[in-house]
């Protein structure tokens, strides 16, 4: 009896017994019947097969598959405190544990796999080569280099996908019934444990480094991943200027006033996969509708001030605001605090427009790049900084009331 003689209900079960995408491809090539059987396995089966083939088909592994599942994983996590707790526990185990949770929770389709492959070849590979020239080992600089440009780029994508609820707060209509974002501490923990760095563990006061990080010594793994990220931001194109150049000629950018253009750029920097797509040839045209929608949302969320004096002292704003937070952004932050009570309970929440450059500066060097706008009750910034470092180091206690409290 051949495979073709098996009843359809048995053929459909075959992918469940495979180990990897390689086996799925090999099986699909044996006959037309098996090709149809393997064309669209259940999403959870595809996720498992993709994870087992990560080092062959989905490099950098496991980062690329985490990026593919991060948005749906975040949507799952914000639904309940118990899920937020599970996510933070996975983060503490590094990228491998995070992928395990993602594969358990998120199902991938064959269409997702094809999109991921197109992204890798059309977007990731060209930008990897460009970043390697601008800030990578190819620069010949012995100390400040982006050691692994490809992983750095995918980590940038993960930030935009996994924390999209936090990044969208600034421009989506205020809705107190919407699940509140993952806590600020969760963002910092992702950087600390999933973009690990020797400097980070030192400056945040870890008494000992996580076990998974110690095991990196036996592998060819970058042990300065946050420093690599910061170098890519400062020396490469992962900064406001890089995206501003890409957006400058778009209809969405030109339609905004001078005060909102840098805010549009900052938001575009943190759109996950789409952020990197904007940086390749044809990307802004392909995403023109998304950019127009984002610009319209910013106009609604950040109305023009009654007086033009609001911006008189800061006429040339940058998306990388390290000294002055735009007044319209400050007003939006005040509105969000008033309308969404959960944000007030997050002691370290400061803005509806967070940025990876500011976040990685804190976890890498242990201080804020931009002084945050916080509640008056937390006016002692030095103590707040110390408390945040402790919260990053320690395990979250599951609290049925709020998952933002740390011990």
202-216 pLDDT, tens digit per residue, is 999 999 999 999 887
DSSP state of 115: H
Using the predicted structure, report yes or no on whether residue 377 has a pLDDT greater than 80: no
Residue 155 vs residue 8, higher pLDDT: 155
Using the predicted structure, report yes or no on whether residue 98 has a pLDDT greater than 60: yes
Q: How many Cβ atoms are within 10 Å of 404's Cβ, its own excluded?
A: 23
The predicted pLDDT at position 144 comes to 65
Using the predicted structure, report yes or no on whether residue 220 has a pLDDT greater than 70: no
Residue-wise pLDDT tens digits, 29-57:
878 877 887 888 889 899 999 999 888 88
Structure confidence at residue 405 as a pLDDT band (50, 70, 90)? very low
The predicted pLDDT at position 401 comes to 45
The predicted pLDDT at position 299 comes to 98
Query: Could you tell me which residues are beta bridge partners of residue 193?
Result: none
CA 119, chain centre distance (Å): 16
Using the predicted structure, report yes or no on whether residue 226 has a pLDDT greater than 90: yes
- CA-wise closest residue to 350 among 377, 330, 323: 330
Reported pTM: 0.91
Structure confidence at residue 381 as a pLDDT band (50, 70, 90)? confident
Q: How far is CA 251 from CA 41, 171, 298, 302, 322, in A?
A: 41, 19, 15, 19, 27
Tell me how many helices (H) and strands (E) the chain has: 26, 0
């Amino acid at each position: 009896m051949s495979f073709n003689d098996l009843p359809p209900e048995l053929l459909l079960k075959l992918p469940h017994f495979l180990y990897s995408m390689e086996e799925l491809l090999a099986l699909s090539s044996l006959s037309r019947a098996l090709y149809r059987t393997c064309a669209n396995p259940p999403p959870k089966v595809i996720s498992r097969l993709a994870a087992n083939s990560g080092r062959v088909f989905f490099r950098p592994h496991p980062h690329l598959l985490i990026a593919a599942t991060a948005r749906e994983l975040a949507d799952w996590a914000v639904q309940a405190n118990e899920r937020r707790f599970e996510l933070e526990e996975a983060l503490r185990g590094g990228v491998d544990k995070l992928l395990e949770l993602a594969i358990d929770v998120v199902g991938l389709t064959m269409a997702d796999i094809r999109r991921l492959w197109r992204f890798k070849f059309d977007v990731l590979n060209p930008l990897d080569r460009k970043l390697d020239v601008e800030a990578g080992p190819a620069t010949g600089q012995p100390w400040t280099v982006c050691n692994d440009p490809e992983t750095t780029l995918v980590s940038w994508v993960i930030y935009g996908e996994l924390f999209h609820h936090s990044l969208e707060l600034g421009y989506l209509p205020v809705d107190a019934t919407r699940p509140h974002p993952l806590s600020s501490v969760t963002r910092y923990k992702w950087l600390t444990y999933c973009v690990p760095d020797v400097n980070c563990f030192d400056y945040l006061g870890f008494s000992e480094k996580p076990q998974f990080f110690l095991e990196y010594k036996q592998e060819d793994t970058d042990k300065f991943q946050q420093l690599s990220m910061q170098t890519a931001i400062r020396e490469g194109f992962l900064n406001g200027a890089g995206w501003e150049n890409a957006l400058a000629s778009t209809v969405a950018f030109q339609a905004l006033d001078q005060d909102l253009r840098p805010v549009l750029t900052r938001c575009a920097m943190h759109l996950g996969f789409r952020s990197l797509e904007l940086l390749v040839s044809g990307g802004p045209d392909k995403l023109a509708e998304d950019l127009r929608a984002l610009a319209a949302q910013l106009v609604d969320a950040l109305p023009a001030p009654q007086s033009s004096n609001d911006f008189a002292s800061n006429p040339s704003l940058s998306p990388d605001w390290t000294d002055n937070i735009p007044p319209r952004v400050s007003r939006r932050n005040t509105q969000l605090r008033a309308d969404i009570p959960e944000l007030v309970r997050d002691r370290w929440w400061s803005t509806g427009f967070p940025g990876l450059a500011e976040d990685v500066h804190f976890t890498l060097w242990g201080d804020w790049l931009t002084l945050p706008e916080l509640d008056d009750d937390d006016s002692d910034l030095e103590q707040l900084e110390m408390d945040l470092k402790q919260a990053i180091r320690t395990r979250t206690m599951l609290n049925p009331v709020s998952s933002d409290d740390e011990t």
